[in-house]
């Protein structure tokens, strides 16, 4: 089971490949995604990384939270998944 991390404070030029490469030093990266704005197609400055194990996820948080990358300070924490996919009510 993968362990999802929220990664905030990304440079708007950070690609998913760069995000994956960066977090690979902390362990096995299952997936990496940069969230894009629907209208402009530009990065919204945050994303998600799924690490293979809880230990690797914890190491990634320790290693990257508060670190400066590409001129921005990262905020890395375990993703709670709260509200995932439920941004709008239908009816």
Indicate whether 85 belongs to any domain.
no
Q: How many CB atoms lie within 10 A of CB 76?
A: 22
pTM over 0.75: yes
Instruction: Output the domain CATH number for residue 8.
Output: 3.30.70.330
Indicate whether 9 belongs to any domain.
yes
Q: Between vectors from CA 26 to CA 24 and to CA 27, what angle results, nearest 5°?
A: 65
Q: How many CB atoms lie within 10 A of CB 63?
A: 16
Residue 48 falls in which region: left (phi positive, over 0), alpha (psi -120 to 50) or beta: beta
Is 11 in contact with 69 (CB distance < 8 Å)?
Answer: yes
Indicate whether 87 belongs to any domain.
no
For the cut 90, the answer to whether the pLDDT of residue 81 exceeds it is no
Tell me the HSE value of 21 on the side-chain side, using a 13 A CA sphere. 6
The number of domains in the chain is 1
> What is the tens place of the pLDDT at every residue in 5-61?
999 999 999 999 999 999 999 999 999 999 999 999 999 999 999 999 999 999 999
Residue predicted with more confidence, 34 or 2: 34
- The domain in which residue 54 lies consists of 3-78
pLDDT at 2: 75
């Amino acid at each position: 089971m993968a362990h999802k991390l929220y990664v905030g404070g990304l440079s708007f030029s950070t690609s998913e490949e760069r995000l994956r490469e960066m977090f690979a030093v902390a362990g096995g990266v299952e997936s990496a995604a940069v969230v894009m704005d629907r209208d402009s197609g530009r990065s919204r400055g945050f994303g998600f990384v799924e690490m293979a194990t809880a230990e690797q996820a914890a190491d990634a948080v320790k290693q990257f939270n508060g670190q400066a990358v590409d001129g921005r300070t990262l905020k890395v924490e375990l993703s709670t998944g709260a509200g995932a996919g439920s941004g709008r009510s239908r009816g």
